[in-house]
Amino acid sequence: MTIHSVRRGETLDYAETARRVADRVHALSILCAHGPSRVVIGVSDPLDVLVNLFATWAAGHCSVLVNPGLAHDEKTRVRASVTPLLWIDDNGLHSVQGQTPAAPIWPDAALILMTSGTTGVPKGVTHDLKTLETRLRLNVGEIGLPVLARTLCPLPLFFGHGLIGNCLTALYAGQSLHILDKPDLKDLSEFGALLDKLGITFLSSVPSMWRMVLRMSAPPASPPLRVHVGSAPLTQDLWERIEEWCGTRDVFNTYGMTETANWISGGRRPERDADGFVGKPWGGAFRVLRDGGLHDSGRGEVALMSPTMMLGLWGEAGLADHEQGGFLTGDIGELAGDQSLRLVGRAKNEINRGGIKVLAEEVDMLLERHPAIAEACAFGIPDTIAGELVGAVVRANDGAQVTDLDLMAWCRTQARSEAVPSRIEIVSEIAKNDRGKLARQAIQQEMIDRWR
């Protein structure tokens, strides 16, 4: 087992990792002398993140992973939410002054991942070590030890996809882990060469990263054995282009969420109806909520029965969003009788156009099927007659010549009238959040203000 920081060129083997963890456990024992508590980890270096994570667990504490770039107000909200005893940042360990840690709702809590908090009260998705171990065992069983031999993590470690899906899965399997933190344009332009240099056999990332790689980098000479793409549904076109670039058909569109310790399912691209296809569950089962009940096929809100379900949200007793034993995800999907699932969109992103519901992700995928469009983000815009109309911003492929009127005319030939955008703006880049997902709400508000 080795952990390698691509950015710093530093590698930790098992013995050095254990030594650093032991040193940090000693420091924690001095500052946390009053029993188990929460310890916030907000450091920049990925090797330090993992050392602090393992040390916190070894010392019997609960780790709270946060973005090291949090602003002052965001840190204040995190402190109020999880009442930590210590905060670890790039300057070392600090006691959180003037705060009495609340008694833990779940004494066995081991990991809290913050899913929001930029503008409101952050949510702390809480797992114990048993849940995490179950998820890692399922991941390794699905992917296989040879595939995980040399794993690359190009995602932030405060993100469950990066931490659990890439890093902890590879380390649980006893394999080599390479971490490329905060890939910049130079990294992405040389991404194929980097995969060859490191001999990467497996990696998982998000569609937005792949769009950049496909624009900028030559493919690797030696294909990785398997690639995961998650955190947003893949379209047929982007999926095929990633397969071609990687040189393998073993590109899996994965479905996961922090509440289930990352991946729930994944699948290779089917020959048809590929948009949003995420395969069958890796442990547990899917259901869809429709007509007030859970069903094992059809269209509706996706519900999960998972052995890796979170304990709950920190500070909130019990599990929210349950229906007859299934966890409601907020995703709208089409479930086949063999348990294979195709995601259509998010319930909260529904656009109500004169009483007819249109999913924003449905419009994203529609626009991205146009040969001139690389990426799209749709949203609702207020309308005095219809209630809402469909608006969108798009980024065109390099060198493509297309207008908003061209796109709307094309959409009218491809989709029902309600799903055709009434306003489209062509932009050079589409905003993302710190996890690489579309910043849909921020984009929506910006465009509504601009179009008034």
Task: Provide the CATH number for the domain around residue 30.
Answer: 3.40.50.980
Q: Are 14 and 99 part of one and the same domain?
A: yes
Domain count for the chain: 3
- Show contacts of 336-341: CB within 8 Å, 24+ apart: 336/297, 337/296, 337/297, 338/280, 339/280, 339/281, 339/285, 339/286, 339/296, 340/267, 340/277, 340/279, 340/280, 341/255, 341/265, 341/277, 341/278, 341/279, 341/280, 341/281, 341/286, 341/302
Binned at pLDDT 50, 70 and 90, residue 117 comes out as very low
Q: Are 31 and 135 part of one and the same domain?
A: no
Binned at pLDDT 50, 70 and 90, residue 119 comes out as very low
In a domain, 119, yes or no: no
Q: Are 184 and 296 part of one and the same domain?
A: yes
In a domain, 168, yes or no: yes
In a domain, 82, yes or no: yes
Q: Are 137 and 285 part of one and the same domain?
A: yes
In a domain, 121, yes or no: no
pTM of the model: 0.82
Express each pLDDT in 282-302 by its tens digit: 989 999 998 888 999 999 999
Q: Are 285 and 397 part of one and the same domain?
A: no
319 pLDDT higher than 60: no
In a domain, 109, yes or no: no
Q: Are 323 and 300 part of one and the same domain?
A: yes
Mean pLDDT rounded to a whole number for the chain:
89
Relative to beta strand 262-268, strand 373-383 is unpaired
In a domain, 122, yes or no: no
Q: Are 234 and 366 part of one and the same domain?
A: no
Select from 57, 89, 104 the last residue of a domain.
104
Q: Are 240 and 376 part of one and the same domain?
A: no
Q: Which amino acid is at 266?
A: G
42-46, 142-146, 156-160, 354-358: the lowest-pLDDT one:
354-358
42-46, 58-62, 159-163, 323-327: the lowest-pLDDT one:
323-327
Select from 302, 320, 346 the last residue of a domain.
346
Domain coverage including residue 406: 354-451
116 pLDDT higher than 60: no
Express each pLDDT in 333-356 by its tens digit: 999 999 999 998 888 888 888 767
Q: Are 291 and 418 part of one and the same domain?
A: no
Structure tokens at 78: 């995190």
CATH at residue 427: 3.30.300.30
